[in-house]
Amino acid sequence: MQAMKLHNKVALVTGAGRGIGRAIALAFAREGADVALTARTAAEIEQVAAEVTALGRSAEALPVDLSDRAQATGLPGRVARHFPAVDILVNNAGIGSSANPRRIADYDDGFWDLSIAVNLTAPYLLTKALVPAMTERGWGRVINMASVAGKRGLLAAGAYTATKHGLIGLTRTAALETAGTGVTINAICPGATRTVMLLRRLQVDAELRGEPVDKMEANVNPLGRLLEPAEIAELAVYLASDDARGMTGQALNLSGGSTMH
Ligand code: NAP
């Protein structure tokens, strides 16, 4: 039997109630990790915790609103009540642009602040809180869920693209600052992946362009199909594993070929 890639590691996965975060939590558990799961919707993370437990690993569902700075800074302490240390931090929770799709001249300032808080400030606060102990132990992983929208513009998505570009910047600087300590810090840049967030975005794009959703879906990338959350999770497993110890500060596209630079 092949050895499990994350045997006895502890992972904190934000936004783990559905979509990409859920897929990562389950893939990590299959590779032998215990998982702390967070999101606002308790029922969703409790369901994922039950799925992780069924795979034979420990899981804790910790409801948190990461737009609230006090809750974000309090999260590591809550995780520490259940697990001895966090080896792998996955900053995956995010809010998309489709909840409030406006051009910058007409942007909603409250939505801007909310997007910065969830997509950029929360990853910064969790990195700041958890990475020092990783460097002390000489092993750690941070995986930031950016986006291909962290490398290019997207109509009516000013806050989303700005936060995802920012998250890649945070990834690169944090990687430089931890280089050589046994900690690696990388970003994944998914393209369109079949989740609640993406299906809402496709609807917005279809309306902006006056095209049917199924045509948008077929033209979403050169492969002509949406990616599945499990495909993103495979890359997260690799980055979290020892196999990826030589890679840090990268922002890896996994986008069905929609981005080729
Ligand atoms: P999703 O299905 O909407 O899941 C988002 C997760 O984040 C949920 O568990 C959500 O739970 C949590 N979340 C949102 N706001 C939160 C808050 N204030 N506090 C705590 N948790 C919060 O979206 P997804 O597509 O899986 O997205 C996951 C990540 O991938 C995001 O960072 C997204 O930007 C990125 N991404 C996705 C795609 C795509 O095509 N799907 C492409 C590129 C990048 P609650 O609502 O219960 O809080």
238 included as an active-site residue: no
Ligand 1, pocket-test mutation among 12, 20, 258, most atoms within 8 A of CB: 20
Q: Which atom of ligand 1 is nearest to the CA of 44?
A: 47
| Residues 113-141, mean pLDDT to the nearest whole number | 98
CB of 93 sitting under 6 A from ligand 1: yes
The pLDDT, as a whole number, for residue 118 is 98
pLDDT in tens, 176-192: 999 999 999 999 999 99
- pTM, 2 dp: 0.98
Residue 1 has pLDDT above 70, yes or no: no
Percentage of the chain modeled with pLDDT above 90? 89
Instruction: Say if residues 144 and 185 touch (Cβ distance below 8 Å).
Output: yes
The pLDDT, as a whole number, for residue 8 is 96
CB of 97 sitting under 6 A from ligand 1: no
CA of 92 to the centre of ligand 1 (A): 7
CB atoms near residue 235 (< 10 Å): 20
| Residues 194-223, mean pLDDT to the nearest whole number | 89
CB of 121 sitting under 6 A from ligand 1: no
The pLDDT, as a whole number, for residue 204 is 84
Residue 201 has pLDDT above 90, yes or no: no
Buried-state track 99-121, b at ≥16 Cβ within 10 A, e below 16: ebbeeeeeeeeebbebbbbbbbb
CB of 165 sitting under 6 A from ligand 1: no
CA of 3 to the centre of ligand 1 (A): 31
Residue nearest to atom 31 of ligand 1 (CA): 94
Ligand 1, pocket-test mutation among 12, 13, 14, 18, most atoms within 8 A of CB: 18
| Residues 111-123, mean pLDDT to the nearest whole number | 98
CB of 147 sitting under 6 A from ligand 1: yes
Range from 96-100, 115-119, 141-145 carrying the lowest mean pLDDT: 96-100
Q: In what order do the strands lie in the sheet containing 183-190?
A: 59-63, 34-39, 10-14, 88-91, 140-145, 183-190, 251-254
Residue nearest to atom 33 of ligand 1 (CA): 94
| Residues 152-181, mean pLDDT to the nearest whole number | 97
CB of 67 sitting under 6 A from ligand 1: yes
pLDDT in tens, 27-86: 999 999 999 999 999 999 999 999 999 999 999 999 999 999 999 999 999 999 999 999
What's the CA gap between 261 and 257, in Å, rounded? 10
